[in-house]
Amino acid sequence: MSNPSTRVRGAGTPARRTLAAAARAAAKRTERTEGGERTGGAERTGGTERTGRTAVPTRRPERTEPARRTGTDGDGSPADGPPADPLSGRTVVIEPPDGWDDPPEPSPAPDEDEPRAEDPAEPAGSPARRPGQGVRPRRGLYAALLALLLVAGLVAVAVLGLHYRDARRTEAARDEALAAAREAAPVVLSYDHRHLDRDFSRALAQLTGDFREEYRRTTKTVVAPTAAKYRGTVKATVVAPPGGAPAASVVSAAPDRVVVLLFVNQVTESTQVTGPRLDLNRVRMTLSRTSQGWKVSAVDAL
C-alpha cells in the first residue's frame, strides 16, 4: 500500500520558493488596495471608476503571477500555486483644473464651390470682364476735371490780375486828376476884360471834348461882350486854410475818369458893383485822361 503524497512547503529550489512568496505578497497588497477603494466611496461600474465629470480608463496594479511549478515536490506531485488572476482595466474620472475652458469647436471649412455673398454670381451669358476694363474712362474723366480746374484757375488769376492792375491805375489817376483840377480851376474860372483873348485861350488849353466847344461859344457870345462893356474882372482861387492844402477832394475815380469837388472863391469887380464882391462857390469838376494828360470835360456850380 502506497503512502499518500504530502506537500512539503520547504520542498523545491530556493528560487522557486522566493518567487512564490513574492507572488503571494503582491496578491495580498492588491486585495488590501481594492478593499480600501470600496470603503472610500468610489463607485465602480463595469470596471469604470467615476471621480468627476470625465471618465478616464486606468489599469489595476498588475498582480504578479507566480511561476507555475513545472516540477514536482519532493514526492513527485505537481507543485501548488495561486491561480492566475486575469488583468482587468478600470476608468478613473479626473476633474479639470480651475479656470479651464473647453477649446472651441473648429468651424467647418467653407465650401470652395459655393459663391461668396460679396461676390454675386454674374448672370449667364454676360461677357467676361477683361483686365483693365473701365480704367480708361475714369482716367479720361479725371483728365477732363483736371483740365477744367486748370482753366478755372487761369481765368481766376487773369481776373485778379486785371483787378489789381485797374486798382493801381485808379490810385494813380486819383492823385494825377486831383492835382490837375487844382491847377485848372483858377484858369478856367477867371478872366480880365483887359486881355480876354489871352485868358480864354489859356482856359481852352485846359478843356477837352464837348465842354471845350461849349466854353468857346459861351465866352465869345456872352462873356466877352459883357466884360468889355462893364469892364468886368473875375479872379478865382481854390480855398486853402493857412498852411494847408487847397480844399479839393476826389468824389469818384476810375483809371480814365475822375470827379473832383472844389471850394472856390471868386472876387468880381465891374462898373455894376461898388467895390469887389466875394462869392463862395462849390464846383464839381470832371476830368478825363487824354493823350495830352488830364483835361477838364465838365464844370458844374453847386
Q: What are the cell numbers at 250?
A: 476826389
Partners of residue 236 on adjacent β-strands? 266
CATH architecture of the domain 175-301 equals Roll (3.10)
Taking only the tens place, the pLDDT of each residue in 144-182 is 888 899 999 889 988 888 888 888 889 999 999 999 999
Split at pLDDT 50, 70, 90, the class of 76 is very low
Full DSSP string of 162-217: HHHHHHHHHHHHHHHHHHHHHHHHHHHT-EEGGGHHHHHHHHHTTB-HHHHHHHHH
DSSP tag of 14: H
**113 pLDDT band (50/70/90 cuts)?**
low
More confident residue, 77 or 165: 165
Point out the least confidently predicted range of 47-56, 90-99, 128-137, 287-296.
47-56
Answer for the pair 50, 93: CB distance below 8 angstroms, yes or no. Answer: yes
Query: Looking at the DSSP assignment, which residues form a beta bridge with residue 3?
Result: none
Within 8 A by CB and 6+ apart from 215, the residues are 188, 203, 204, 207
> CA–CA separation, 132 vs 135, rounded Å?
6
Reply yes or no on whether the pLDDT at 255 is more than 50. yes
> Does residue 79 contact residue 12 with C-beta atoms inside 8 Å?
yes
267 touches 234 (CB < 8 A): yes
Residue type, 113: D
Backbone region of residue 132 per phi and psi (left: phi > 0; alpha: psi in -120 to 50; beta: other values): left
Q: How far apart are CA 207 and CA 189, in angstroms?
A: 12
Residues 6+ apart with CB under 8 A from 272: 230, 232
- With a pLDDT cut of 90, the percent of the chain lying above it is 39
Position 184 pLDDT exceeds 50: yes
Mean pLDDT over 123-139 rounds to: 59
- Nine cell digits for residue 194: 483887359
Write down the pLDDT at residue 67: 45
- pLDDT score for 267: 95
Task: For the beta carbon of residue 181, count every other beta carbon within 10 angstroms.
Answer: 29
Give how far Cα 178 sits from Cα of 4, 259, 301, Å: 167, 9, 18
State the average pLDDT over residues 62-77.
47
Q: Would you state the pLDDT for residue 216? A: 95
State the chain's mean pLDDT as an integer: 75
Beta bridge partners of 78: 72
Average pLDDT (62-78) is 47
Q: Report domain extents, the chain.
A: 14-93, 175-301
Rounded to an integer, what is the distance from CA 24 to the centroid of its chain?
90
- The whole model's pTM is what? 0.49
Q: Report d(CA 36, CA 49) in Å as an integer.
A: 14
Query: 286 exposed, middle or buried (CB, 10 Å; 0-12, 13-18, 19+)?
Result: buried
